[in-house]
């Protein structure tokens, strides 16, 4: 076995160890992210909102919404104050229905954030994917370089063989 083949094997083994070590790291990152998201006091709060009118079809004027969508007027209480506004809803929303509404610290409607668990899983998978991609890149690059070296060795050996056969 040539030394270049041993290097190639060692790098592959290192990549396997790196990916296996990345699994507990990804789990730790995901757990830490999830715990930090649950402890974040700036996350939106969900309140009950009451529909105060019928749904209205809104034509999409920009690329922000993919197509026409429905909005309903709602009223909710936050911080001791009664508030009102329009929110996106389906055409089946009726007056008096209760809808869960995410509001920010200012009491205004905001996008529903991903759950803390989903955010933690997402971050953990990103860490695992990133480390795996780096390990794969390391293996592919090393294999390519070793093949170049191996081919150069074969070429040199063939040239030496033809020289010996020609009596030089």
CA count, 13 A, side-chain hemisphere, 16: 6
Domain count, the chain: 2
Same domain, 54 and 104: yes
Record the pTM.
0.59
Same domain, 96 and 138: no
Same domain, 108 and 51: yes
Same domain, 20 and 51: no
Same domain, 70 and 91: yes
Same domain, 108 and 69: yes
From 112, 131, 153, give the residue that closes a domain: 112
Cα separation, 128 vs 53, whole angstroms: 48
Could you tell me the residue range of the domain that residue 91 belongs to?
45-112
From 112, 132, 149, give the residue that closes a domain: 112
Nearest to 101 by CA among 52, 148, 155, 149: 52
Residue 104, both tokens: 């920010």
Same domain, 121 and 108: no
Same domain, 72 and 104: yes
Same domain, 104 and 125: no
Please list, in sequence order, all residues whose beta carbon lies within 8 angstroms of the beta carbon of residue 3, skipping any fewer than 6 positions away.
Answer: none
Per-residue pLDDT of the chain (168 residues; tens, 9 = 90+): 677 788 889 999 999 999 999 999 999 999 998 888 777 656 677 888 888 887 877 776 665 555 667 788 899 988 888 888 888 887 778 888 888 888 887 888 887 777 788 888 999 999 999 999 999 999 999 999 988 988 888 898 888 888 777 665
């Amino acid at each position: 076995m040539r030394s270049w083949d041993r290097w190639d094997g060692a790098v592959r083994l290192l990549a396997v160890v790196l990916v296996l070590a990345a699994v507990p790291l990804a789990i730790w990152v995901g757990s830490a992210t999830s715990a930090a998201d649950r402890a974040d006091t700036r996350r939106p709060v969900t309140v009950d909102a009451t529909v105060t009118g019928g749904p209205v079809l809104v034509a999409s004027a920009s690329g922000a919404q993919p197509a026409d969508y429905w909005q309903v007027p709602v009223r909710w209480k936050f911080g001791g104050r009664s508030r009102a506004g329009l929110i996106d809803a389906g055409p089946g929303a009726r007056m008096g229905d209760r809808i869960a509404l995410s509001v920010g610290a200012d009491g205004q409607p905001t996008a529903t954030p991903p759950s803390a668990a989903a955010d933690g899983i997402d971050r953990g998978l990103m860490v695992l994917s990133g480390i795996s991609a780096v390990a794969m890149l390391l293996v592919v690059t090393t294999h390519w370089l070793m093949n170049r070296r191996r081919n150069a060795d074969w070429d040199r050996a063939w040239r030496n063989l033809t020289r010996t056969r020609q009596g030089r």
